[in-house]
Structure 1
Amino acid sequence: MHPLLGLVVSYLAGSIPFAYLAGRARGVDLRKHGSGNLGATNAVRVLGPRIGGLVYLGDTLKGTLPVLLLPPLLDGSRPELWAIAFGVAAIFGHVRPIFLMGQGGGKGVATAGGVFFGLAWLPTLVALAGFAISLAVTRIVSVGSIVAAITLPVALYFWAGARDPRFIIASAIGAFVIWMHRSNIARLKGGTEPKIGASKREAPAP
């Protein structure tokens, strides 16, 4: 398989809008409810934890599977570098899905987690632990996501070193994820960011 075909396949996989499809199956356009974001968190908020959990699983797997399954099919060398590129393509597809005309994707947290679980599972588990602890303490998903985005490159630095391309990409994607949460950060500063278990009133739009 030519690497460019792998990039296209990875982008298309990342573009599958599981949150949108789950909402439509229930007669709901998630872009018009909750936070308006097509991610697992908003799916949980609007559709409930069972369906939201399935959305999270789908968003994670569309990052993991291209990284694990496509590199062995490549014609040529350096499959480990192409695995990283395929992961980036999947994340980009999630954020800018072609099936929704490049609009209305998620923030990339679950898909990035899936990508890096395939690339470096142990640092990813460390980041997941950071997410879980932060979520347990604050009950705010965005705080957990931001902590995970910071923890992952730090864990990769100690696990693989500063010159490892996975560390470099994790740092860039971590910064991107934090930037994608800029509206959440503004609400955190204002004390209006929704918490898990809070009242079910509509969350503020991003």
Structure 2
Amino acid sequence: MNHVWVIVLSYLAGSFPTALIMGYILKGVDIRTLGSGNMGATNVFRQLGVAAGIVTLLLDMFKGFASAYWISRLGSGDPVGLMILAGVSAILGHTFTVFGGFRGGKGVATATGMVLAIAPLIVLICALVFILTTLLTGYVSVASMLAVSLFGLIHIVLYFLGYEISRWLLIFSIIIPFFIVWTHRSNVKNLIRGEEGRFENLMIFRRKKTS
């Protein structure tokens, strides 16, 4: 029964509609009607500004961290397994939020907060790759998918090198890249068509506009 509470409370924590609330507070609008229509930090950055985007990012990360680090303790059994259970529930809550018609964000920030509670050093490495990719390409979607894929790859390599890794963490690290790519399927289509939006002002190497 404790596991049920871990799942339910983590899902509800993840479902907290940060972007939706920010849209209503700052502009009195439904963020789902602006830009990409996504309830994630990237769309908030584009539509509501940098400050709103940062707040949304941090709160979405906190949902995953709080679920994995604190709510998981309500259960009994393998601590890492419970953290994975709570974190995954939060990610699903964020992606399919009950407070937004089961239409939420893409899960990257919440997943980041979750794994920050479990494997902080590896998250730091992935975060550096995310930042570097964003600065080089301007594509947050590409940076997100690459960073999450690297998270999975690192755990697989460590496992085959003989390091002791929880089976639940290993399974999660293998599945989560596929899930994140799936939530970014519209971005992948836009990338193929050359229509994906990018943050050109963040890029290190930008093309100079010609008059």
Superposition TM-score, scaled by structure 1 size = 0.89
1:45 matched to which residue of 2?
46
2:171 matched to which residue of 1?
168
Distance 1:175 1:123 in 2: 18
Instruction: Specify which of 174, 179, 182 is matched with residue 182 of structure 2.
Output: 179
Report if aligned partners of 2:5, 2:74 keep a CA contact under 8 Å in 1. Answer: no
- Give the number of equivalent residue pairs: 196
1:92 matched to which residue of 2?
92
Structure 1 residue 159 displacement after superposition: 4.1
1:57 matched to which residue of 2?
58
The range that moved more, 64-73 or 86-95, is: 64-73
Distance 2:166 2:118 in 1: 15
- Counting only pairs closer than 5 Å after superposition, residues 76-155 of structure 1 correspond to structure 2 as 76-102=76-102, 104-155=103-154
Distance 1:174 1:142 in 2: 13
Q: What letter is aligned with 2:67?
A: P
Deviations 1:174-195 (A, max 9, x none): 1110111111111111111111
Report if aligned partners of 2:65, 2:113 keep a CA contact under 8 Å in 1. Answer: yes
Structure 1 residue 150 displacement after superposition: 0.9
Q: What letter is aligned with 2:199?
A: I
Q: Secondary structure at the match of 1:169?
A: helix
Deviations 1:160-203 (A, max 9, x none): 557732121122111110111111111111111111147xxxxx
Report if aligned partners of 2:80, 2:169 keep a CA contact under 8 Å in 1. Answer: no
Superposition TM-score, scaled by structure 2 size = 0.87
Q: Secondary structure at the match of 1:107?
A: coil
Deviations 1:72-106 (A, max 9, x none): 333x322221111000000000011111232x200
Q: What letter is aligned with 1:79?
A: P
Structure 1 residue 157 displacement after superposition: 2.5
